[in-house]
Amino acid sequence: MRIWLHIGLEPAGAARVQQVLDDKRDNLLGKGILFPRSAGAKNDTRLFMAVTDADHVDPLRHVRGYGPADRQEALRGELVADLRAEIAKHQPHTVILSAGQLAASLHRASELERLRGLLAEFSDDIRVVAWVDDPARVLARHYAEQVFEGRTTSLERDLGLADAPDWWAACIAAMPPIRPGLGQFEETEGAPFWLDYTALVAFWESGFGAGKVTLRAYDPGAFGSETFTDELRDCFGIGETIGKAAAADLEQPVSDAWTARARALNGLLRQVLEQGAHHLPRPLWRSFMSELRVEGAPTDPGALAVVSRRFAGDMARLAERFPALAALSAPEPSDPWAEADPTNGYRASQYLLAFLYRIDRATQAAKKARSEARQRPPQQSGITPEARALMPPLAVKNFEKLKTSPYAPHNRIGAVNEEELAAAYTPVPPRKLPKGSSGNVIVGCMKNEAPYIVEWVAYHRAIGVDNFLIYTNGCEDGTSEILDRLQELGVLQHRNNDEWKGNSPQQYALNKALKEPVIRNAEWIAHIDVDEFINVRCGNGTLEDFLTRVPDATNVAMTWRLFGHNGVLDLADDFVIGQFDTCAPRYCPKPHTVWGFKTMFRNIGAYAKMSCHRPNKLADDFRDRVRWVNGSGLDMTQEAAEKGWRNSTKSIGYDLLQLNHYALRSAESFLIKRQRGRALHVDRSIGLNYWIRMDWSGAKDITIKRNIPRMRAEYDRLMADDQLKALHRSGLAWHRAKADELHATPEFRALYEQALQVRLTETERVAYALALDMES
């Protein structure tokens, strides 16, 4: 078996390599080529974190909790075991590992030896590959990336090293001390030793053998094209076709002025942290960086021509060994680099004063969390007997890993008191929309949801939704008739979708929706389901209250909060938001479904397609105009502008808005859902596994109940229509009869009883769900 080890460079297309490998993962596996998940989802960060020296703490190890040597050692053992199991399962002839940080971080022989030893168990045929570009072009990109991760040192330091006899040694000698509490790491503050590609090749060949390292040329245009898969096939020796790649725009440089602003603020933030009295979480730091944004020209690589000249001879010699590098060209020299004017009278100190309130809030929240942790009784260290009897061996193994990992779920983030009911929100009249505008619009798809429709519509009308466009298919319970009546009452628009084509009735409906006037004339659009409620947690709880807090936003990632069945067994004619208030904890990065989001987006034509979780196909001329925010109003554009439908630890936030997701409702409602399968994915059924993934009960959140009085007023107004009331009651009767029928069926009675016997702590549920994900 051959192992290909892709080590970077990050400023030379590493993320694109990883994205396309991830997109083609199943295709490659069918050809005997494994791009394993056990080392990382796309970027094999677990591999990178596992092999650095104990004292070489990098940003990833620090943020993810692997800074202590014992935690890193445990990670290394877990990684080897997981790789061993994945390789044994698939028996590939080729394994591709990709960690873009490897080339830019590893410079100690001990680290290279550790990496080689880790991989030696699996193969002695290991090839190393890196894509590179002209050093000046790479430095321009890398410097900006460092600044936006906290760099305070001017680029003049790096340019001054061009006269050093040994660039690699001079960069290593200039490395700053590692101070994680201040956000100071070699990776963010150090000079790029690895720009000496000759020394880079020599270093990696010292660990893996002469002739085992290959350099390839980075071409942004080719990398972003659909035919980029040809480059991957050529690199990794893949004879068969693997299809085309999704086209992508890889060159999105930030302005020189923005970078100058960010570096100046970084210096002041570092001074604040050095005082030792403040705490600044990385997501908040990144939010500050995004708020400094100003348009302008990016760093001109020609201004860094001294670096191109420094390595010109090396590049020529390397091109003789690696002919592809001959295509790389040095930039046309221009005036030597000088830090840009930050423009508009920018003063970093003024921004710092404006940001101090948020830093103080974060500091107080961190102190409170530490205090609560000290006062909290010791958590159970092992699996409960009930859970052990239920969980498969892989879930038990996952539990042991999770207990002390940075992915262990908890409720210690966020600023909202979710367990104390504040005063009820006041009613707001319907908005008077400008002529031709359909305002804030929800588009949704339904199948057999009769008991829940009127509440859902009344709730969202009460918080400021102006119009609804609802598609249905295959309904038997009166859902279509209820929607038809609401349409007759002028409340919404209903479309029959029984003639859908393709793989998904939902996507067929969303494609059609783009042609509807109510969507074309909307201000904001959100695609959500009838078991999802937009929970605005600021101001008077309306969409307008939230949107005024994010005036520049074009897209809002509304993160799910998953609510369990809350001990409610029977289907009742009562409000969903009143019955169910136990849910997933606020911090729960795994499994992937917990932090899924749906998107509310401004209707500006930025995206050509509307999909389940988000709009897709960003237009080129909107790339610099979209701004994504999370539920705390913090910027997450870089993470979400092009793809993705779940939050990360960097982008999670619920303080201003979240999407309450009542996937189960009562235990009887779950039975009915199990019987009909998932309406939007017609070939998949829902069984006990779905219950385990969705029945969260470890936290409590009653914030949405502030809406009940004004929702009830709108609900009563709608139900004053005798015809609508009769249709609602008929639909409820259908569901109750269906529940009785299923209780009398052995298969479903057994499922019902089995589901109610499941008792899992939050960590046990995460461990079990991760095992189910691996088995599916």
User: Residues 667-689: pLDDT tens digits?
Assistant: 999 989 887 644 333 333 457 88
Point out the domain boundary residue: 246, 261, 296. Answer: 246
Q: Which of 513, 455, 392 is nearest to 708 (CA)?
A: 455
pTM of the full structure: 0.70
β-pair type (213-217, 94-98): unpaired
The H-or-E segment that residue 555 falls in is strand 555-562
User: What is the model's pLDDT at position 287?
Assistant: 85
DSSP strands (E only) in 713-776? none
| 25-29, 287-291, 691-695, 726-730, range with the lowest pLDDT | 287-291
Task: Give the pair of three-digit tokens for residue 676.
Answer: 């009909």
CB atoms within 10 A of CB 544: 15
Chain position carrying tokens 């990109």 = 141
**Residue 319 contacts by C-beta under 8 Å, 6 or more apart in sequence?**
325, 326, 328
Counting the structural domains of the chain, the total is 2
SS3 272: helix
Torsion 647-649-654-655 (CA) sign = negative
Residue 369 has pLDDT above 80, yes or no: no
CB-based contact 274:282 (threshold 8 Å): no
Q: Is 407 or 251 the better-scoring residue by pLDDT?
A: 407
482 domain residue, yes or no: yes
119 domain residue, yes or no: yes
SS3 179: strand
CB-based contact 274:361 (threshold 8 Å): no
Q: Which of 85, 111, 87 is nearest to 99 (CA)?
A: 111
User: What is the model's pLDDT at position 378?
Assistant: 53
Single-letter residue type at 235: C
Q: Which of 276, 280, 271 is nearest to 63 (CA)?
A: 280
DSSP, residue by residue, 300-333 = -GGGGHHHHHHTHHHHHHHHHHSGGGGG--PPPP
Single-letter residue type at 267: G
453 domain residue, yes or no: yes
581 domain residue, yes or no: yes
Compute the distance between CA of residue 460 and CA of residue 357 in angstroms, rounded to an integer: 33
pLDDT, one tens digit per residue, over 450-467 is 999 999 999 999 999 999
The H-or-E segment that residue 139 falls in is helix 135-147
| Percent of the chain predicted with pLDDT > 70 | 97
First to last CA, the chain: 26
Edge-to-edge strands of the sheet including 125-132? 33-34, 94-98, 2-6, 125-132, 213-217
User: What is the model's pLDDT at position 21?
Assistant: 97
pLDDT, one tens digit per residue, over 576-618 is 999 999 999 999 999 989 999 999 999 999 999 999 999 999 9
User: What is the model's pLDDT at position 685?
Assistant: 40
Residue 40 has pLDDT above 90, yes or no: no
Torsion 204-205-207-212 (CA) sign = positive
Point out the domain boundary residue: 246, 266, 283. Answer: 246
| Percent of the chain predicted with pLDDT > 90 | 83
Single-letter residue type at 562: L
**Residue 745 contacts by C-beta under 8 Å, 6 or more apart in sequence?**
none
pLDDT, one tens digit per residue, over 108-136 is 999 999 999 999 999 999 999 999 999 99
pLDDT, one tens digit per residue, over 612-621 is 999 999 999 9
CB atoms within 10 A of CB 308: 22
User: What is the model's pLDDT at position 503?
Assistant: 85
pLDDT, one tens digit per residue, over 168-226 is 999 999 999 999 989 899 999 999 999 999 999 999 999 999 999 999 999 999 999 99
pLDDT, one tens digit per residue, over 232-251 is 999 999 999 999 999 888 87
The number of angstroms, rounded, from the C-alpha of 434 to the middle of its chain's C-alpha atoms is: 36
β-pair type (439-446, 522-527): parallel
What is the domain range of residue 587?
439-775
User: What is the model's pLDDT at position 365?
Assistant: 82
Q: Which of 207, 6, 201, 217 is nearest to 102 (CA)?
A: 6
DSSP, residue by residue, 626-678 = --EE-TTS-B-HHHHSSS-SB--TTT---SSEEEEE-SS-SHHHHHHHHHH--
User: What is the model's pLDDT at position 108?
Assistant: 96
pLDDT, one tens digit per residue, over 312-333 is 999 999 999 999 999 999 999 9
User: What is the model's pLDDT at position 377?
Assistant: 53
User: What is the model's pLDDT at position 283?
Assistant: 80
User: What is the model's pLDDT at position 381?
Assistant: 59
Rounded to an integer, the average pLDDT of 504-513 is: 95
Q: Which of 472, 479, 489, 491 is nearest to 451 (CA)?
A: 479
Beta bridge partners of residue 522, listed in sequence order: 439
Compute the distance between CA of residue 392 and CA of residue 400 in angstroms, rounded to an integer: 13
Largest Cα separation within the chain, whole Å, is 88
Burial class (CB in 10 A: 0-12, 13-18, 19+), 125: exposed
Rounded to an integer, the average pLDDT of 21-40 is: 94
178: left (phi over 0), alpha (psi -120 to 50) or beta: beta
User: What is the model's pLDDT at position 166?
Assistant: 97
Mean pLDDT for the chain? 93
Single-letter residue type at 574: D
| 122-126, 500-504, 526-530, range with the lowest pLDDT | 500-504
Compute the distance between CA of residue 699 and CA of residue 743 in angstroms, rounded to an integer: 30
User: What is the model's pLDDT at position 683?
Assistant: 31
Task: Give the pair of three-digit tokens for residue 495.
Answer: 């479309």
User: What is the model's pLDDT at position 772?
Assistant: 84
